[in-house]
Each structure stands twice: as C-alpha cells, then as structure tokens.
Amino acid sequence: MSSRPHPLDPMLAQATLPFVVLDGAGVLLALNPAAARLYGRPAEALVGLPFVQVVDPFSREKAALMIAEALTQGAAHDWELYHPRTGAPPLLVSYTAWRWRPDPAARFAVAAIGQPLTAAVSLAAQLAATNQQLEGALLQLERAHAELKNAQTQLVRSEKLRAMGQLVAGVAHELNTPLGFVAGNLEFLAEQVPALAAASPDPHLADDLAAALAESREGLERIAGIVRDLRSFARPDSPTVHAADLNASLAATARIARTLCPPGVTIVEHYGPLPAVVCAPGQINQVVLNLLTNAIQAIPESGTVTISTAQEGDQAVITIVDTGVGMDEATLARLGEPFFTTRPVGAGIGLGIAVSMGIVERHGGRLEFASAPGKGTTARLSLPLT
C-alpha cells in the first residue's frame, strides 16, 4: 500500500499554515498540526483517509481535480476548497499543490499547502456590499439628475413663454386699435350704401357694395378672432369662476361648431350625467371650440366628430373624437407649442392648443391627445370636480 505514514519535516510541523502530503491516489500520508486543527480531528485519525473526505462535499470534485493536476502538470495553484466546520460556516482555503517524490524509487506523491481565506473573503463580501450600496446611490443620483433636467426644461420653457407672451401682448394691442377704427369705418360705409346706390346710375351697385361689405366684415371678424386668441394667450383675463352645468354649455358650443361644419361632417353628442363643475365656463367653451375646430378641420371630406362627457372618479371628462387624418409622432410631440401649426400660411396661427392647454392648466386639469396618421384623433380634457 502507498498510504504509509510519512514523517514530516519539523519546520513544516511548526508552520501555521495547513500542510499535507498525499499519495498518488490522494490519500493523506502526513499532515501538520495546523492542518489537523483545520480539519477538526487529530492527525492520527486523518492519516489513511482520502483527502477529498476532509473537504466539504461541495468541494470534493474540485479537490480530486487539484490532485490530478498536481500529478500530471507538476503543480496546481490557488485551488479554493471548502472545509466543513462544526458550529461555523465552511471555511474557504486556497491550496497550492505540487508533485513530489521522496526518492527516485518511490511513487509520485502530492504535497499541498493551504491559505485560509476568511479575512480576504469577508473583505470581498464587504466590498460587494459596498459596491451594491454605491450602485444604489448611483441610481438615485441618475434619477435626481433626470428630474433636474426635466425641471430645467420646464423652466426654460416657461421663460420662453413669458418672453413670447410679452411680445404677443404688444402685437395684439397694436392690432386692436386699428381693428377698432376699421370696424367703425365699415359700419359708417354700410350706412351710406342706400344713398350712394340711389345716386348712382348703376343698378347693381347696391348689391355689389353689400357683398363687398359682407366680405370685409367676415375678414374683420377673423382678424378679431386672431387678436382675441393672441390676447388670451399672452394675458389671460381673470375669468368668472362658478359652478356650471358643463353639458349645457357644451351643447351650446356644439351648436356654434355646427355652423362651421362643411356638409360632410357630422357632430354627434353623448352627454353623460355630470355634477356641476366649478370652472370658468367661458374659457372651457373656448377650449372645446378650439378642439372641435381642429377636429372638423382634420376631416378631409366626410366624417364624424363625437363629443362626449362622463364622470370618472373625481374628474369630469370631456372627450372629442374625430375620424380625421390624425397626427404623426412629431406633430403630437409639438402640440401645445405656441405658434406650431401644420396649416398653410393664413389658415391657422397655431395658438388653439397652446391657449387651451394654458386654460386647462389653470383649472388644475389635463388635456391629452391620442392619435395616429389615418386613425383620427382623440382629445381628452379632464377637470377636477373638487
């Protein structure tokens, strides 16, 4: 048998690191007191046992591989094996093993020296824990950064809006004065028409003048509408707020919108039961009219605009759905940007939604859009009931 006891060098016997000698089959031939202490049994009880039996079952295969590597390669470095301990978690020991032959006639044996890893491992565990804390802190930092950026964007946006508001208020004011006297002159001219027509030999003059005047009035009304939009964008009037029957005022707004509808467009109304909503009804009507106008304009030839109301929890919700051309992502993203319009010059000034969003914000409500090209648009306006 190869597993006969082997005398240990006294120097190794005194070493504080575990040292073992195994035969070619991995059976313990000798071990120093430090190894016996580590394995939890006296050296006499251990000699003759396969080395794999003093390691944790979890490490047995690894131990056998280490021995094989030492025998075939000459040395095996840094093999980490667990040893079971009574009343304590298994201890991790890093072994370096090498092939060794006591004398040329003897068979190859294996010697191995171990380094318990308690301190190093606990340090690694501590490091891992610290690392996790750091990662957590990093995540928080990233979140805070994103919030800051968002807040900054809003700040810049509101700064821009303020500057734009001042500019727009100035323009609206300048337009309002000439608008007033042009309207006045137009009425004066209208009064002169009968006398002018009577004094003229042209039998068509009265009709022609009346048509021209009607056209001018319509033009003036459009200008007045734009000026009104500009002013309410720039400096919203402090409106009268009271508890209002939204369904009734929406029905009135829908009647006005119908007069704007081309023949192919139908407005459908579905009013659900709503409690009185404390709001500035005139302003809410303006929002709804803006939304209805956009919906009607989005329908190329024929289609439907559906306006409905419902109570959802503590919110009054007004929904306007159209079967129009819809909007792509880029348009949706720019909705509410003052002066953003996709309409040709003269057809829209891009304030409808900007004005509406301002009004809804001041009411503590929300205005949201869902749309896709060719799929129509849903505008959802919610107002708090309390």
Binding site for Mg ion (CB under 5 A): 294, 352
Question: Where is 307: in which H helix or E strand?
Answer: strand 303-312
Under the binding rule (CB under 6 A), the answer on residue 303 touching ligand ADP is no
Rounded to an integer, what distance in angstroms lies between the CA atom of residue 145 and that of residue 40? 55
Using CB under 6 A as the binding rule, whether residue 352 contacts ligand ADP is answered as yes
Q: Does 353 bind ligand ADP (CB under 6 A)?
A: yes
* Backbone dihedral angles phi then psi of residue 271, each to the nearest 5 degrees: -100, 125
Measured from the CB atom, the residue of 115 and 378 that comes closer to ligand ADP is: 378
Window of 14-22, 130-138, 153-161, 318-326 that interacts with ligand ADP by CB under 6 A: 318-326
Question: CB of residue 386 vs ligand ADP: minimum separation in angstroms?
Answer: 29
Site size for ligand ADP, by CB under 6 A? Answer: 23
Pairing of strands 19-22, 109-116: antiparallel
Please enumerate in sequence order all residues whose Cβ is within 8 A of that of 70, keeping only pairs 6 or more positions apart, or say none: 76, 97, 98, 99, 110, 112
The DSSP letter of residue 27 is B
Helices (H), the chain: 10-13, 33-39, 43-46, 60-73, 118-199, 205-234, 246-260, 281-297, 329-334, 352-362
Pick 109 or 292: Cβ nearer ligand ADP = 292
Provide, rounded to whole angstroms, the least separation between the CB of residue 151 and ligand ADP. 25
By beta-carbon proximity to ligand ADP, the closer residue of 32 and 290 is: 290
Q: How many angstroms separate the CA atoms of 237 and 288, rounded? A: 18
Tokens of 77: 């470095």
Q: How many Å apart are CA 15 and CA 8, to the nearest integer?
A: 11
CB-nearer residue toward ligand ADP: 53 or 304: 304
Beta strands 265-271 and 303-312, pairing class: parallel
Could you say which of Mg ion, ligand ADP, none residue 232 binds, taking C-beta under 5 to 8 angstroms by partner kind?
Answer: none
**Which residue in 230, 232, 225, 274 sits closest to 249, CA to CA?**
274
Taking CB under 6 A as the criterion, the residue among 277, 349, 360, 367 binding ligand ADP is 349
Q: Which residues in 266-295 contact ligand ADP (CB under 6 A)?
A: 290, 294-295
Q: Tokens 């829908």, residue?
A: 254
Residue 258's SS3 state is helix
Report the residue number, 71 or 354, with the smaller CB distance to ligand ADP.
354
Distances (CA, A) of 65 to 59, 73, 88, 97: 10, 11, 26, 11
Instruction: By CB under 6 A, name the one of 16, 150, 152, 342 that touches ligand ADP.
Output: 342
350 residue type, one letter: G
Among Mg ion, ligand ADP, none, residue 230 binds (CB under 5-8 Å by kind): none
**229 binding ligand ADP? (CB under 6 A):** no
Out of 90, 350, 366, 384, the only residue in the binding site for ligand ADP (CB under 6 A) is 350
Judged by CB under 6 A, does residue 323 bind ligand ADP?
no
Residue 322 binding partner per list Mg ion, ligand ADP, none, with a CB distance cut-off of 5 to 8 Å that depends on partner kind: ligand ADP
Q: Which is nearer to Mg ion, 165 or 352 (CB)?
A: 352
Nearest-5° Cα angle at 328, 254 to 263: 35
- Considering the rule CB under 6 A, would residue 331 count as an interface residue with ligand ADP? yes
Chain residue at closest Cβ approach to ligand ADP: 352
Kindly tell me which of 293 and 306 has the beta carbon lying closer to Mg ion: 293
Among Mg ion, ligand ADP, none, the one that 343 touches (CB under a kind-dependent 5 to 8 A) is ligand ADP
Distance CA 82, CA 55 (A): 6
**Amino acid code (one letter) for 304:** T
Name which of Mg ion, ligand ADP, none residue 342 binds, using a CB cut-off of 5 to 8 Å depending on partner kind.
Answer: ligand ADP
35, interface contact from Mg ion, ligand ADP, none, CB < 5-8 Å by kind: none
Instruction: List, in sequence order, every residue forming a beta bridge with 315; answer none if it has no partner.
Output: 312, 384
Residues contributing to the site for ligand ADP (CB under 6 A): 290, 294-295, 298, 322, 324-327, 331, 335, 340-343, 348-354, 377
